[in-house]
Homo-oligomer: A and B are copies of this chain.
Amino acid sequence: MKTKVAVGIIGAGRIGKLHAEHLAFRIPQAKLVAVSDIYVQAAEQCAADFGIPHVYADHRAIMADPDIDAVVICSSTDTHAQLIEEAAQAGKDIFCEKPIDFDLERIDRALQAVDEAGVKLMVGFNRRFDPNFKRVREAVVAGQIGEPQLLHIISRDPAPPPLEYIKVSGGIFLDMTIHDFDMARYLIGSEVEEIYVAGGVLVDPAIGEVGDIDTAVITLRFENGVIGTIENSRQAVYGYDQRVEVFGSGGAVRTLNEYPNTALLYNSQNVQRDLPLNFFMERYIESYIIEMQTFIACVAEDRESPVSGRDGRIPVLMGYAARKSYEQGRPVKLTEIAAL
């Protein structure tokens, strides 16, 4: 077991800085030794904030450093697949933000490089590490609800992202629902065979004008017989609405939202409480810390990645099936898109 895992971060944007902070301050087993960003000022600021000794504009300096054990890829999506290949060839263990890529062929090539190099790859589906969803998975695995039969995922953002972002996001299924596709596979522990989508533009017509939708209800048929639904909306005015429910032959388990406090207010009009948390970095902060701790522990203890390359690939495939279902108004089998 390694006593300290030496890490280089590639990409010092919002999510890169988040991981950097956790690696620097919250995960004693990690040693953050380098950061790179094509905007080198961003990398420099990140280094200053978190005491990182080496700063580069070019990520290849990180790949070339033999003292670095692992890389954390937080650059823009279009660079992920290429960086995974380079890191694999350099023998680094890899954490990569989701999605690996929007192109299944590029994903396959990246995963092949990882396989051939025998390095670890963990994909950043942080929600698996949220204590609520983790507890649901534990209940399912422990048989606390018998055989799972129905799954319901509610996943609503507080507000749509900027239109400029939506245009390059890959569409709602690859940008937003991808997290829920991963959650569905994680909670049920079985693959989805068929997807049916009923969706529309109910939040903002401008989203429709750039070719996307903002509201979707997705029906999932799993190989093991479970039937699931995902409810997506780009805008829940009351905050981040993220709940799941699994129903089975022996019971059910469900989670509630997270709130900034537990205070209940009673007055002559009604009973009130403050709104749920509404920013993903607040709502999911604990999951990000546990996710990165898990990655570092996997590297240090040579354990298998709990979110594999396959786990990164299949939700993308599901995204394409969902889009096809929406466009054609019929259930679509995943095998119509590609082999699992």
Contacts and interface: CB of A to CB of B under 8 A. Distances in A.
A167 interface: no
Interface stretch (A94-102, A116-124, A258-266): A258-266
Contacts of A49: 28
A217 B139 CA distance: 23
A226 to B, nearest CB: 8
B249 A202 contact: yes
A231 interface: yes
Contact of A221 (B198, B233, B241): B198
A238 to B, nearest CB: 4
Given A202-B225, A217-B227, A237-B268, A139 B262 contact: no
Majority DSSP secondary structure for residues of A touching B:
mixed
A223 to B, nearest CB: 12
Interface string A214-230: 01110101000101110
Interface residues of A, number: 75
A26 interface: yes
Contacts of A150: 215, 217, 231, 233
Contacts of A25: 24-26
B215 A199 contact: no
Nearest to A229: B229
A250 B268 contact: yes
B253 A264 contact: yes
A264 B219 CA distance: 24
A144 B24 contact: no
A330 interface: yes
A203 interface: yes
A267 B236 CA distance: 9
Most interface-central of A199, A227, A239, A329 (chain B CB within 10 A): A227
A306 interface: no
A49 to B, nearest CB: 8
Contacts of A131: 260-261
Nearest to A136: B263
A249 B152 CA distance: 21
5 contacts: A132-B262, A217-B228, A251-B265, A253-B264, A270-B275
Interface of A: 24-26, 28, 49, 51, 131-132, 134-136, 139, 144-147, 149-150, 152, 154, 156, 196, 198-200, 202-203, 215-217, 219, 221, 225, 227-229, 231, 233, 235-239, 241, 247, 249-258, 260-276, 329-331
